[in-house]
Structure 1
Amino acid sequence: MSAMALSALGMASFTVPAVADDATSQDSTTVEQVSALVSDAATSAGVPATDFTADSPVSVTVPKDASDGIGVHGTDGSGFTVSAPVGVSVDGGVVAGDGSTVYAGAEGHPDVTVTPLESGVRISTVLWDDSQSTSFGYPLPEGIDGQIQPDGSVILTRALEVEADGVTSEVDAIVGQIEPAWAVDANGNAVPTNYALADGVLTQEVDTTDAAFPVVADPTWGLTGPLQVRVRWNRAETATIANGGWGATGLTAVCAAAGAAIAGPPGAAVLGAGCLATGGPAIYTAGVAQNSNPKRCLEGFLTYIPGVSVVVPWYGTYACK
């Protein structure tokens, strides 16, 4: 029984983060300890991510001074620059053994770590006591909009306009996403947190009430793998589609124009063919939107995967005026 008790005690000690000690202060913690704390927190949150390797499809540029942002780009040149949290000290970054860059907080600021991942970048703030800010603002990349999804994630889009058969439609190229917010305290317990989005700034709010410090809070930014667009039809267009006014041919023209906007002629051919093959579901979904109370509008998510000749769009509805 004594051996079993000692074994259990050893396991419990192992699972507690090395820096979650009352005698450890922010000033005395090393870069390696901070990076290990963030890694342990991600594991506790159930979201450990694949580390960046030379073969990763995403290139992440992490400067020593992150005030100008962190670059996230695909091999095809697509991508964006992610802002560091506003008002937080992010100069003098030091690279830890796990490849993350640690920015030591100054004058009461939390620490920040930036970790390149296979599909994007993880930006974590480490709060050491309740005197530090629990609200972190991230301005969205230039030219990019964000929409918070029901699961708490955020899709990142770049607006485009396409014209087909004399009709101009709103098209959003889906360029990336932000994973749902999470935060974990020193005991590995989840801490309430959520995103708010207003005026082009994504804000993560963390409720540290009753939390054991330090607390790690994280948004993870990623590039969308395949090229995707979201086509949204307005209320008048939705009504026309629902009544069969456009038919599969009219839908195909818009989808082909959207495909051309993101991938040239190959994209036009693939997305146009996908919409032609699924005209029926589009018309049905437009009818659902038209009969909703209040009325909604039709949207379609179209994916172009180079080398694949058939794409099946997904249709849904959205709140519109």
Structure 2
Amino acid sequence: MKRPINLVCACAATVALALSGAGIAAAVPVEQLESVTTYDTDSARKGIGATSGLIDSLIKDTTPVEENIAYAKETSVLTGIPTKSDLTIQTMKGAELLKIGVPGFKWGEKRELSILKKGSQEVVSNPTSDGVQILWKINKGSGTESLELKTELPDGSKWGKESDGSISLQRKATDDFSEVVMKSGVPWAIDATGKKLPTSYIIDGDKVYQHVQTDGAVFPVVADPDFAWWGSLAICVAEVASIFVPGAQIIKGAKAAKAIAFLAKSPKLKKIIDSLGGLNKAIHTMLGKLQGKKYGEVTERVLKKLLEEGKGALFDILGIGGCYGVYAN
């Protein structure tokens, strides 16, 4: 799953992977991990095998990797996304790198695709510009197979279950509002014939497990847990505050001038802004909407047009792209 996003969260939530069959095994300490070597993509395809083209697809979509894949030896714990000390997330708007590595591997200024094995199971972890995608391949087994995601959560954050079976990481943004900062896709798993298998996420504090029931399945079985950062309301609020003159409800001159020039070329969007009382009031009203404030039917309808019509361009010009990221998600 890939979701366009203007901003990734200005907080760190790190995830480590561990595999087990019919139960959860304790992860091997990081110090016991063997060194990591690299292979080109052709060697990696032969070594791990391509299931339904998914691995090839992940390799193809991982850019700008210089055809490198990190591979941990059979005896290593499966740790595709390591602990906090091994993870670097560039968080603010404009950052394109989400660096995820295996302990012991030295990262350059590029994204990497990690392929790791343990027993009959394999995991490909693919960092994207807005999150991480994990391909879990089970070559044989019986009963319930489990993938463990160990996380180190930001202060005030916790995992929660959504009605569709997905999970979200929520943190308290203000005294009255909690925001979603990361969300998974709906869990799924299929066997070699394409048959859908029963699967679900289980939350245990800072640990998340994906369980797959493999009885009667034709192997290999593939699952695809993936997570994406969501726009941060806390950052949106900070961005809006930064464009206004301190102590006044007026947008700073340079920002206002750029916005006015842009609106002069977008009469439809200018009409929407004017109907909200002008640029200053429109931005404050928009922020109130994103914070959960309720307005009258007419204002709600106009705000929706404002958020949709500009497609984020006006927000970027003003320097509040994070606000559009909140709305888009």
TM-score between the two structures when normalised by the length of structure 2: 0.48
Which gives a bigger RCO, structure 1 or 2 (Cα 8 Å, sep 6+)? 2
Q: Choose between structure 1 and 2: higher strand proportion.
A: 1
